[in-house]
Chain A
Amino acid sequence: MSADFLYGIEVLINGLMAGVLYALVALGFVLIYKASGIFNYAQGVMALFGALTLTGIMSGQVPFAHLINATFGTHIHNFGWNVPALGAIALTLVVMVCFAWMVQKFVFRHLVGQEPIILFMATIGLAYFLEGMGDLMWGSDIKKLDVGLPQGGSRWVEDITAGLGGDDFYGFFIDKLDMVATLVAAILVISLVMFSQYTKQGRAMRAVADDHQAALSVGISLNYIWILVWSLAGLVALVAGIMWGAKSGVQFSLSLIALKALPVLMLGGFTSIPGAIVGGLIIGVGEKLFEYLIGAPFLGGATENWFAYVLALIFLVFRPQGLFGEKIIERV
């Protein structure tokens, strides 16, 4: 096989792996949107906040240290301990669930029945609030996140694939962190699908997504389900935050991963879990292949940022309801 073709395959694999992560981030949006009709602008900031909280807890940082010191004239910054990664992840999850509860209790409970645009505006407010909260709690400096995930290219993959091509092919270069991220994201996506299909809470979630009145009539508390979906979205955000944070540090730009999910949503539809998964994969593969085949050789590269949107736009024109959405036929 020619080396070019094999490198094309490598690009494809990398695209698929990126796609799984996009799918995960998109799922965070879909979960909330389906259950409550809220397009959660804050999803990306939740990933940032999750990663910030995780690094903070792991390194034994005192939350609100700046505020405390400024108020009481103290000089505390650190508890002087380190929390192991798994314990810190569990604690961060607790924080994310608390956040979900507060969002429901203090914001959306009071906005039930409001126009979608108002709910959307509320999430914009929430995004900036949470961003400021992250700063206030953990400081605004760039942090390194090391939860012990492997880094660098996998020699093993390189070695066993090197034989596929001729002398000009050196094997697939696959980043170990990407591999782990893909695996974790895939497991999480599959678990979420199983959870929503086969458990009573999952069924209740789908019920609420489908019809609020009917859900109430069988004894489902909307409030409970909304806290649940915000918690799950928090979990998704945290995992995405860990993967991205481990790669490029925990800093504000991490919240922009949400932008990666938008084309996925345009493609897959806002209400479809399979749509998010397939959409994620298509975007991941599409942008990497485009860059490899056309972007880098002819357009000077760096097409990945915008190509996903072009792809999604083209798609949108022909299938506005998304990949798996029902065709909308206006009744007259």
Chain B
Amino acid sequence: MMLENQTLAPSDGYVTADGRQIGGVMMDLRNITLRFGGVEAIKDISFDIREGEIRAIIGPNGAGKSSMLNVISGFYVPQEGEVWFNGAKRPPTKPYQVARQGIARTFQNIALFEGMSVLDNVMTGRLRQMSSGLFSQALWWGKAQTEEVENRAAVERIIDFLEIQSIRKTPVGRLPYGLKKRVELARALAAEPHLLLLDEPMAGMNVEEKEDMSRFILDVNDEFGTTIALIEHDMGVVMDLSDRVVVMDYGRKIGDGTPEEVRNNEAVIDAYLGVSHD
């Protein structure tokens, strides 16, 4: 079944259920196929992410969701298909270059700098904003100094925003899981990304932590206008947060549309109820 928004022209926007204006296509994935040896993790998938929206990717374990995020962030290079970003086809791009283009991410298994403090972790997120060169940095000259001060201020704002002031100086390795997830989000936000990719930001959290995280995600989208693509297993959360949902199963796309549409989609229901695939 084809869904309503697929007929939308790339440059058109739409208005969400809660009245937010969504813009044109920012990230366009066209016929992506990704293989690991004999395993096809992604099979000919196309979908887009629009300016200002919260886009969810859902699907059972091993469906290829994380792989999809890794393709967007440059960690995986698909064998087939094209990635279009801001209206231009993206040539093969290294993960660090993708990051510098304003695409920040978190990881399913949390990838923080465990030995560094929360503050330092979040500061690394600002590397993109720091343009002073090696020598002025080494000698702590003019621009390097003002830059550091400005970035500290920006980082403190993010730390306040995510309510982690009390652990600013704590080495990340000592934090409990839920807080680590939050620090990882803080680091991603510090980059002031255009597109934020979150791989299961609420996995392993209790109800209260999930509520906090949902609130942060909505606030980020609302206050900074950040476009967000997230992977989530908790259907309740997905329904609450997202504007549009892509559903994957065994590397294929089996649904794409508003949460409402997806929930009533036959194939999606089958996939989640585990109807056999023959």
Contacts and interface: CB of A to CB of B under 8 A. Distances in A.
B111 A200 contact: no
A137 interface: no
Interface residues of A toward B: which range? Answer: 20 to 34
B104 A199 contact: no
A198 B111 CA distance: 22
Interface in B198-212: none
Given A211-B113, A216-B99, A218-B127, A200 B107 contact: no
Contact of B113 (A202, A214, A216): A214
A200 B127 CA distance: 7
B146 to A, nearest CB: 13
Q: Which residue of B125, B134, B148 has the most chain A CB atoms within 10 A of its CB atom?
A: B134
A159 interface: no
B137 A214 contact: no
Contacts of B94: 216, 221
Interface residues of B toward A: which range? Answer: 35 or more
B116 A217 contact: no
B107 A213 contact: yes
A4 interface: no
Contacts of A219: 96-97, 99-100, 127-128, 191
Interface string B95-107: 1110110001101
Contacts of B132: 200
Given A218-B187, A218-B191, A221-B96, A201 B134 contact: yes
Interface string A91-122: 00000000000000000000000000000000
Interface string A208-227: 01110111111111100000
B111 A217 contact: yes
A187 to B, nearest CB: 14
Contacts of A211: 111-114
B123 interface: yes
Contacts, number: 85
A109 to B, nearest CB: 12
Given A219-B100, A220-B96, A214 B127 contact: no
B138 A218 contact: no
Contacts of B127: 200, 203-204, 218-220
Interface string A191-207: 00001001111111011
A206 B120 CA distance: 10
Contacts of B130: 200
B114 A203 contact: no
A207 B134 CA distance: 16
Contact of B128 (A199, A201, A218): A218
Given A195-B138, A200-B137, A214-B112, 20 more contacts: A199-B137, A199-B140, A200-B130, A200-B147, A200-B148, A201-B134, A203-B120, A204-B124, A206-B116, A207-B124, A210-B114, A214-B111, A214-B113, A216-B95, A217-B73, A217-B111, A217-B188, A218-B99, A219-B97, A219-B128
Interface of B: 73, 75, 94-97, 99-100, 104-105, 107, 111-116, 120, 123-125, 127-128, 130, 132, 134, 137-138, 140, 144, 147-148, 187-188, 191
User: Ordered nearest first, which 6 A-B pairs have the shortest CB separation?
Assistant: A219-B99, A214-B111, A210-B113, A216-B95, A199-B137, A219-B100
